Amino acid sequence: MDEHRFLSPEEHDRLFPSHGDGTRCVHAGLPEPIPGAPFLPGPVFAAPYHLDPAQGPAAAPNGYGRPDNPTRRLLEAAVGELEGGDCRVFATGQAAITGLLLAALRAGDTVVLPADGYFPVRAFATDTLAGNGVRVLLAPTAGPYPSFDGVRLVLVETPANPGLDVVDLPALAERVHAAGALLAVDNTTATPLGQRPLDLGADLVVASGTKALTGHSDLLLGYVATRSAKLLETITTWRNATGAVPGAFDAWLAHRSLATLDLRLGRQTANAEALARLLAGRADVSGLRWPGRPDDPAYPVASRQLRRMPGVLSFDLGSAERVARFLDAARLVAAATSFGGLHTTADRRAQWGDDTAPGFVRLSCGVEDTVDLVADVTAALDAAA
């Protein structure tokens, strides 16, 4: 898109050096070391700040807490380093994605959204976007996609939540840009260590930091990232005007948690691989999906595109009653929504409004020892039979 400024390869290498994932996570967004100062400064709690009597807010970076907070800026620098762009954080993932849609779309625009992605986004499109005069089209993550002629924005979620389908982002970006549209990618399931959509042709990345990015099940967070100065200005103006900002303590907690992202994802992926092997061998489990399995429909694209596979898988136990028996029998699998945390969790998605079968389960692997988790899931499935 000619109107957007993207980083040159030289600028990208300078701003985002090619260290390993663990190194980048540990050091992302940290200020320059000062003797006697902490590695990560504590949260700055402030609504107003002292102003220069003559110059007012022009004299310093902090004038008022809604647009200005140094703790939030450090987190944005950290997430931006991992995603490879400039970042703005929001109070929740839903605030980030609805903010993106409302800031980018006007009456008469057309948007393409995932038919199999996060259900509240589709509900928001039906309830709010369509009411504002935006034409809403839905397409499955794996396709087929409609013509993009006349489309303003295409949003995809890959891997999709909860079905875990994957779309070829470079190929899709080529089609979207050829039609003059923007491509936004929900990167919640993959995280920036699993894929960097901006490197694959996306104009914008949006994600819920509530999930694996921060991974401790103790805060709500969202973000939007881009390499376009114009799009960043649009998102920043919307975020500041609507006040959808996270508090300083949540921003600090999120930044602290980023340091262990590589370690957490490594164990979660290993656990997902082990559980996928277990579930694939059971006749009482159907519909298993995990894009890391060679016989999964998403594997051909996922194996090329993802740098690591997610710790989330899905399967069907046949009925709501059997899901309840499974969760009641499990000792290491908590019945809870959301995903990406330290604890293994599972939930029956139909109860949240997803268009899934009554026995469809999304299971998010935690960081428990793999042998313990496999034994627990095996025993719970046996007990639920």
Instruction: Choose which CATH entry (3.20.20.80, 3.90.700.10, 3.40.640.10, 3.30.200.20) describes domain 9-257.
Output: 3.40.640.10
The DSSP annotation for 202-243 comes to: -SEEEEETTTTTT-SSS---EEEEES-HHHHHHHHHHHHHHT
pLDDT tens-digit map of 9-40:
455 455 555 789 999 999 999 999 999 999 99
Instruction: Choose which CATH entry (3.40.50.300, 3.20.20.60, 3.40.50.10420, 3.90.1150.10) describes domain 263-384.
Output: 3.90.1150.10
Cβ(313)–Cβ(285) below 8 Å: no
**Integer Cα distance of 177 and 256 in angstroms:** 37
Predicted pLDDT at 251: 98
Point out the residues of the chain with pLDDT beneath 50: 1-9, 12
- How many residues are present in the chain? 385
For the beta sheet containing 204-208, the strands, ordered from the edge strand earlier in sequence to the opposite edge, are 86-90, 222-226, 204-208, 182-186, 153-157, 110-114, 135-139
Predicted pLDDT at 1: 34
Q: Domain boundaries in the chain?
A: 9-257, 263-384
Residue (of 292, 306, 323, 313) closest to 366 by Cα position: 313
Predicted pLDDT at 6: 42
Predicted pLDDT at 7: 44
